[in-house]
Chain A
Amino acid sequence: MFKAKIYIALKEGVLDPEGQAVRAGLHSLGYTGVADVRMCKAVEVTVEASSTEGAEVMVREMCERLLANPVMEEYSFVLEALA
């Protein structure tokens, strides 16, 4: 069993209105040094696979096909072997 911690972010250059609103909030709290905020999604998927490579292939496919929208998002993930 593996746990994949998947991280999905908007591609560079895609406007992130939510991130901008949060940045404005941080500014109004006094954190005027905040230059940028990007909102991202985290997804944890537990999969059964016989090897790390197998799990990696599976998770990559899941990201491409559903979890991320390749038109505007990119993803990365780390795999953790579960005892």
Chain B
Amino acid sequence: MRFGIVVFPGSNCDVDCYHAAKDVLGQPTEYVWHQESDLSRFDCIVLPGGFSYGDYLRTGALARFSPVMTAVAHEAKRGKLVLGICNGFQILLEAGLLPGAMQKNDHLQFRCEVRQVRLENKDTPFTNLGLAGQVLSLPIAHAEGNFFIDDAGLEGLLTNDQVVFRYVDRDGQPTAAGNPNGSRENIAGIINRAGNVLGLMPHPERRAEEIQGGTDGLLIWSSLLAYWGERHA
């Protein structure tokens, strides 16, 4: 399974994603500079976290105009797997590949901490090895993770089972106490309707090996590989 890790000016989680795909999963992985326009050689495209273009104007707003994003949209339309993490999620929202928008955290602070995240939909290429309702410990690191969507959009997400991750408290409940940023309905990650584009604020690449303090994030990487492996056995 070939992974492409997109590098924008200002990406800073690209190396961690590369490591997770290349060294932990053991798959052929390449960095892709944002000026590239052909991503057809990859099976999964990862938009990593960071501060692309300094987050000027709005997070992800300028990265969307990189030539590589035309290619990402093209491959997404063809059904290729696209994973956006943190700033990558923000870029997918700005590009219109996922619905909604990202606002500043409701308390205005940058939060860098480990949070409990509940798996709301395990029937996706990104989560198929998980259990329904499984709670993962994953790090977050963002100032703008306050997911906003209007009522009609939210209803669409819920009706189509597009909410994949929710922030939860210690009891595994999506309460205000469990919500680190004011995100609507405690949403931490969503998928598109076709089921091949996932965006999430927590960082699975920072919990892929024991040495990182836990392996809960490996679930996402391994699920991708399992999904792809089933189709290419």
A→B interface (CB under 8 Å):
14-15, 17-18, 21, 66-67, 69, 71-72
* In the A-B complex, the 3 residue pairs with the closest CB atoms: A71-B101, A17-B106, A72-B101
Contact at B61–A71, with CB atoms within 8 Å?
Answer: no
Q: Which of B45-61 contact A (CB under 8 A)?
A: 57-58, 61
22 A-B residue pairs with Cβ-Cβ distance under 8 Å, sorted by A, are A14-B148, A15-B103, A15-B106, A15-B146, A15-B148, A15-B182, A17-B103, A17-B104, A17-B105, A17-B108, A17-B146, A17-B182, A66-B57, A66-B61, A66-B65, A69-B58, A71-B100, A71-B101, A71-B148, A71-B150, A71-B153, A72-B101
Asked if A72 and B57 sit within 8 Å, CB to CB, the answer is no
Beyond A14-B103, A15-B103, whether A69 also contacts B146 by CB under 8 A is: no
- Residue of chain B at shortest CB distance from A70: B101
Q: Which residues of A contact B105 (CB under 8 A)?
A: 17
Closest A residue, CB atoms, query B96 = A71
B106 touches A69 (CB 8 A): no
A17 to B106, CA, bound (A): 5
Establish whether residues B108 and A72, one from each chain, have CB atoms under 8 Å apart when the complex forms: no
Out of A18, A67, A69, A71, which one reaches B104, CB within 8 Å? A18
Contacts of B94 in A (CB 8 A): 69
Which residues of B sit under 8 angstroms from A18, Cβ to Cβ?
Answer: 104, 108
Question: Shortest beta-carbon distance, A22 to chain B, in Å?
Answer: 10
**Docked pose: A73 CA to B203 CA in angstroms:** 28
In the bound complex, CA of A64 to CA of B82 (Å)? 26
CB distance from A14 to the nearest CB of B (A): 6
Contacts of A69 in B (CB 8 A): 58, 61, 94, 101
The A/B interface has a contact count, at CB < 8 Å, of 37
**Chain A residues within an 8 Å CB radius of B61:** 66, 69
Q: In residues 100-142 of chain B, which contact A (Cβ within 8 Å)?
A: 100-101, 103-108
Partner of B107, one of A14, A17, A66, A71: A17
Is the beta-carbon distance between B57 and A21 smaller than 8 angstroms? no
CB–CB B149/A71 < 8 A: yes
Q: How far apart are the CA atoms of A15 and B106 in the complex, in Å?
A: 8
* Contact residues in A for B99 (Cβ distance below 8 Å): 71
Neighbouring B residues of A21 by C-beta, 8 Å:
108
What would 12 more interface pairs be, CB under 8 Å, given A69-B61, A71-B100? A14-B148, A17-B104, A17-B105, A17-B106, A17-B146, A17-B182, A18-B104, A18-B108, A21-B108, A66-B57, A69-B94, A71-B93
A17 — which chain B residues lie within 8 A by C-beta? 103-108, 146, 182
Shortest CB-to-CB span from B103 to chain A, Å, is: 7
Which residues of chain A come closer than 8 Å to B57, judged between CB atoms? 66-67
Q: Which residues of B contact A67 (CB under 8 A)?
A: 57
